[in-house]
Structure formats: C-alpha cells, structure tokens
Structure 1
C-alpha cells in the first residue's frame, strides 16, 4: 500500500477506484488554463489523460495511523448501491483497508472532507435487519466504521439541502441517531500531530487534514485539488467550485510553505497519491 511517514505517524493511501470524469471536458472544467499549462501538467501527471484524451480520475481515501489512534479521511465512492452513480462502482475501499491491515472497527475517527458522493460512499451502508413484527428481513442503515466519530464542518451540515438533500436521511440522520456525528466549527485538533483545517470554497464546509512534525508536514486535500493543474497553478478556478475565490484562498493557505520545510500533499484524485510540494 502506498504510504508516507511524518514523524511517528503513517499516512496510507486507500484506493477505491479509477474512472473517467463524465460531466465535461477537463478544458471546460478549467476554462482559464492555457495550452502551455496543459502541456506542463500532462508532463507532470500523464496518467490523468485517458486514451481518448479525456480526464481520468483516481478515487481514494487515506488512513492516518499514529500511536494516539487511527483516523480515516473520506469514505470513498461506496458499494454497488451507493448514490455516486457517475463513479466506477462498486468501490474497493474494504479491500484496501484489509490490505493495509485495518479493520473498520479499529478506526476511531472519520473526517469527511465534504458531502460530495464520491467522498462519503462507505460512511453509511445498508444492512439486513429483522423487523420487529417478525415479517422478515428489511433494509437498515449502519455506519461502516462502527466505533468512529464522524467529523464534519457545521457549515457543510447546514448546506446539505443545497448540496444533496437526500443525504440528510441516508447519511446524516443515521450518524446522528448512532451518536457518531460530530460537527466542527473551523480548525480543530485531531489525534497526535494531526489537525483539521477548514478549507471552504469547493463546498461551503470543505475541510482538509494536516499532519505536521517539526519541519515535515503533509496535507490531505480532499477536493481542494481535483486535478494536477491546480497543484501547478493553484490560482486557476474550477467550474465546480461553489465559491471559486474562496477556494483559491484556501488552496494558497494550505499550500503555503516556509523556507527549509518539507510539504507533501495527499490527493484524492491525482494519479499519484503523494506529491512533494512545491512541484519540481
């Protein structure tokens, strides 16, 4: 499993799938990009271009394993009946967790960067339950990580009816009923050297995770970076950002480095899960 260490903390990339971006061409998704910029990004991340010249994405979550506990960032695209119908279903997150030696019951925190369906698919899953009337099996919902707190920004929770109103009943209410949903208001500490950082713009309550030890740090970016062109040119707007200017400021804040420091980014959708920044 691809992984990287920051001090005593291991960050593991958990592959969930690979597939095409179906909504528009990459050029239409980033209308401000120039041909020279596309040529540069194709040299940097040539795996993001499929055989037909389309945009190919990887889908992944990340596990953060430290002496203080085990955190998972994002919950992938989900099983065959997941709502992320535009993605390559079913996702492979359970197999990736097993390959990393992680049982879902070991996870004590799940950070949901935002409420787009390719990031929450395995958070809550259907299970077969027996009805109280004894009439046979019925479909229920339960959290995939049964012992974890699920961390979400309050701004994202409040925006659910704008983002996807169906998630209120299929995700948020089951987590609330189980006592597992924890709402955050901005930056917050996690276990050990990790912390949540509010990075709004892609969605109103988008958040990222930073792991830092001395001069070394890593950021799990969620959809603050959906394509390598945003890593090379962070000021480029993306048409599916709800607030493009706010997203640009969040990217610049998260990717800011000091002299002598070493920063890695852990990305959900780029071909390589871990990239050193600045690039080159």
Structure 2
C-alpha cells in the first residue's frame, strides 16, 4: 500500500524512489555537533536510519499532493539509470510509485523543486529518443517527465545554479525554459487547495518547502530542510553540507520549533515518510 496522509480534503502521498547508504561521510561526520545522548535519542526515534553495517541509511522519495483542484508533485527523486546522482541507488522507481498511486505524469500540473541537488531533480527532465527534422535519423533530446506541469523554483536558487551545479543550466533549466514550464518564485507563495510554498533557505540559497494545513493539523514537506531524524528532534544542529548553516537553522526552527498544532513531517530522507510531531509546547 502506498503511504499517504489526509489533511482535510487533500491527500499527501509518499512516492519512494530508492534507498541506500549515505556515501560521503559517517552520520557523526555529517552532524559533528551532535552529542552521544542526542544520537541515543534519535536511534530510539528512528532506528531504521542505521543499516546492518552501521552506516547512515538514506531514503529517497518525492511526494504528491492530490486535492480537489489537481495534483502537485514535490521534488523529482534520483532519476533513471543515466541521471547525474551517480552516488545514489540508480535507477530510481518513481514511475512505479506514481503508477501505484494511480497518477499518470501527464495529470500532474505543478512540480515544486525544493532545491537543485541532483537527488531531488532526477526525474524532472529526462532523455528521450526523437526524430530530427533534418532526416538524419534518431537523436537524443531532453524533455520534462511531467509534460503538462509548471515547475516552481525559487529565484534565489535559479540565480545560484552556476554555483550549485553549472551542468544543470543545460540539462534542467534550458529544457524547462524552452518548453515554457519554468516558473520562478520570490519567497512564499500559495498553492491550490490547502497548500503553500514556504521559502526555507540555508541548505541552498533558494531552498523551499511545502506546507499543507487544515485547522491545527499540517504536513510539512521538507526537502532537505532536515536530512536526518536528528534534526527533527534537535533543529539547532547543523549539517556539514549546508551552504549557510545559520540560515538553515533559522528556517528549521521557524517551522519545527515554532509549531502550534500537530505537525506531520514528510521527509525525503527519513526512514518513515511521515513523522508526527506534537505541538512544541506539549
């Protein structure tokens, strides 16, 4: 069964794309300020985050928001076998997860890319075989995986693309501009139904998250606002791969430490796709 949660009339669906060990450093190296007591607490909270060899086990997933007015997908996973996230467990299985949820890519009319790291954009633009108009036979082109969707990126992220990954200009930005599917946001913005995009910079200059709320219950789709369960419990902890750790901390604390009602964290990388956090005052 595909994991999902309902907030009012809106359904948030977890779309698995893969799982594998974090290849760059140990979890202690990724969060050097974490204490032994904090690691003990997080091992009780999310025991599946450590594999049999003691490595940080990383899930890769996207999310679909299905409401009365349409379907939004948040992030695009690690991608097919030839995707640039070669450190991840390619190929991803997002197409199968979409099919299991009863979603055809052509039905999706909005894609929110939380940021431009390769494990979050893998299925956004993919290679396809096309016939050239010159009659020289087949050639490989690029097209959006969600052909009828507007792709939402923060302007600050767009402006930083050459610093983040200059290859993305050719493989992601230019194809989306050519198909008139790229939309740039300046800060927070409403989505349909009960959703909204929230600017959460720090991990990258234009990182953004998505909040779906109804009354005192909400779902926060985090991207890499937090990348490990330890940051859900201790949002003040910095991750070594954050571009601006202090800004990332402020973004986390604003949404996690300042929560008033029940918050369901929908994370790209935690073991469970949905983790309920009680009100901060509880």
> Fold-level match, TM-score > 0.5?
yes
Q: Does 1:145 align with 2:146?
A: yes
CA distance in 2, matches of 1:277, 1:199: 19
What's the CA shift for 1:262? Answer: 1.6
What's the CA shift for 1:253? Answer: 1.0
Residue in 2 aligned with 1:62? 63
Residue in 1 aligned with 2:27? 26
TM-score by length of 2: 0.97
Q: Does 1:277 align with 2:246?
A: no
Q: Give CA-to-partner distance per residue, 1:219-247, whole Å, 9 cap, x none.
A: 10000110000001110011000000000
What's the CA shift for 1:278? Answer: 3.6
1:71-86 alignment, distance < 5 Å: 71-86=72-87
Residue in 2 aligned with 1:257? 259
Structure 1 residue ranges (4+ consecutive) displaced by more than 2 angstroms after TM superposition: none
CA distance in 1, matches of 2:179, 2:27: 40
SS in 1 for 2:241: coil
What's the CA shift for 1:42? Answer: 0.8
1:188-227 alignment, distance < 5 Å: 188-227=189-228
SS in 1 for 2:140: strand
SS in 2 for 1:40: helix
Alignment length, in residue pairs?
278
SS in 2 for 1:89: coil
What's the CA shift for 1:43? Answer: 1.1
Q: Does 1:178 align with 2:179?
A: yes
CA distance in 2, matches of 1:150, 1:212: 22
CA distance in 2, matches of 1:92, 1:221: 20
SS in 1 for 2:80: coil
What's the CA shift for 1:108? Answer: 0.5
Residue in 2 aligned with 1:109? 110
Residue in 2 aligned with 1:127? 128
Which ranges in structure 1 are unaligned for 5 or more consecutive residues? none
What's the CA shift for 1:216? Answer: 1.1
Which ranges in structure 2 are unaligned for 5 or more consecutive residues? none
Q: Give CA-to-partner distance per residue, 1:82-102, whole Å, 9 cap, x none.
A: 000000000000000000000
Aligned-residue CA RMSD (Å): 1.0
